[in-house]
Amino acid sequence: MTQRRTVAYRHVRHTHYHHRIPVTSDNFQKRFHHKRYLINELHAENNEQKVQSHFSVPKKIGEDQKDTKKKGLLGKDKKKSGGKKKKKHGRHYALKMFLAKLIIVGLIIWFILNYVFTVMILYGNYMFPAVRDGDLVIAYKLQEPITNDVVIYKHDGKLLLGRVVAKENAEIRYNAETESYSVNGVTPTESIFYTTITNPDADIEYPYTVPAGCVYVLCDHRDDFTDSRTYEAIPTSDIEGVLVFVIRRRGF
């Protein structure tokens, strides 16, 4: 009896019969029949579902296609309407982003050209052969010039090129016999020998001492007097940068 009771209790837990009734000899047969009744009900429900699915009325030929076409058309319309809105929004957004990038790039270029580099085109051959007429010259602003550097400087509102031959407190002398010059009594060694004379039209007395905060510049083509022989030493504040790059535009 103990085994039968445990089995009966276990069965009650797993069925829809939730009332816990002790199993006795009187009601054991009732519990057994109740179990069979629940199983038969489950089978009947499953059979009804199968019969309904088997005998369900099919749709007429072409109705499925119509439904799919309608759904497809509706979907296309929605996509088209949504796509147009997105395209409009996308165009405005792309235009705004393009303008923003253009402004940023312009500001970067403006900053570089005003605070980092100076760009100019040389007109004339007064710096031949180092720089020729029509060459594009790029100078670096964040560098102090030293002797023999080529620099861009301002004079009378124009950008000019010149080679630094002496710095502040240096003494410049010219020798008319040898057609050369000296700095502090020493004749500079140059890769190409240039005959150098004073400008007869300029009122500058030699020996000439370079003032503080100035540099003395000469052209490489010494027959041209577009340099300190005409307008004395130039202030370092007028120097726009030291030459770092030359793009030859003519006579390759």
Residues 217 and 154 in one domain: yes
Residue whose pair of structure tokens reads 């670096």 in the numeric block: 140
Residues 85 and 190 in one domain: no
What is the rounded distance in angstroms from the CA atom of residue 44 to the CA atom of residue 138? Answer: 96
Say how many domains are in the chain.
3
Residues 126 and 237 in one domain: yes
pLDDT of residue 22: 54
pLDDT of residue 193: 79
Residues 135 and 243 in one domain: yes
Residues 108 and 224 in one domain: no
The pLDDT tens digits for 47-74 are 666 545 544 545 555 555 555 555 555 5
* Span 139-147, average pLDDT: 93
- The CA distances from residue 193 to 172, 216, 222, 237, in Å, are 18, 18, 10, 30
Query: 252 lies in a domain?
Result: no
For residues 153 and 162, the answer to whether their CB atoms sit within 8 Å is yes
How does residue 189 score in pLDDT terms, banded at 50, 70 and 90?
confident
Residues 200 and 84 in one domain: no
* Span 219-233, average pLDDT: 94
Query: 207 lies in a domain?
Result: yes
Q: For residues 252 and 199, which has the higher predicted lDDT (pLDDT)?
A: 199
Residues 164 and 73 in one domain: no
Query: 73 lies in a domain?
Result: yes
pLDDT of residue 52: 56
* Span 160-179, average pLDDT: 94
Residues 86 and 197 in one domain: no
Structure tokens at 238: 């007028």
The pLDDT tens digits for 81-121 are 555 555 555 678 888 899 999 999 999 999 988 889 999 99
User: To the nearest 5 percent, what fractions of the chain are helix, strand and coil?
Assistant: 40, 20, 40
pLDDT of residue 249: 76
- The CA distances from residue 89 to 49, 52, 97, 233, in Å, are 52, 52, 12, 62
Query: 240 lies in a domain?
Result: yes
pLDDT of residue 216: 97
Classify residue 25 as exposed, middle or buried by CB count within 10 Å of its CB (0-12, 13-18, 19+).
exposed
How does residue 40 score in pLDDT terms, banded at 50, 70 and 90?
confident
CATH, residue 138? 2.10.109.10
Query: 45 lies in a domain?
Result: yes
Label the pairing between strands 234-235 and 117-121. unpaired
Residue whose pair of structure tokens reads 């023999």 in the numeric block: 148
Query: 225 lies in a domain?
Result: yes
Helices and strands, counts by H and E, the chain: 4, 10
Q: For residues 127 and 46, which has the higher predicted lDDT (pLDDT)?
A: 127
Residues 125 and 226 in one domain: yes
Query: 188 lies in a domain?
Result: yes
Task: List all residues 6 or more positions away from 99 whose beta carbon is below 8 Å from its beta carbon.
Answer: none
What is the rounded distance in angstroms from the CA atom of residue 197 to the CA atom of residue 225? Answer: 9
Residues 158 and 109 in one domain: no
**Highest mean pLDDT, choosing among 45-49, 79-83, 126-130:** 126-130
Query: 59 lies in a domain?
Result: no
Domain that holds residue 16: 2-54
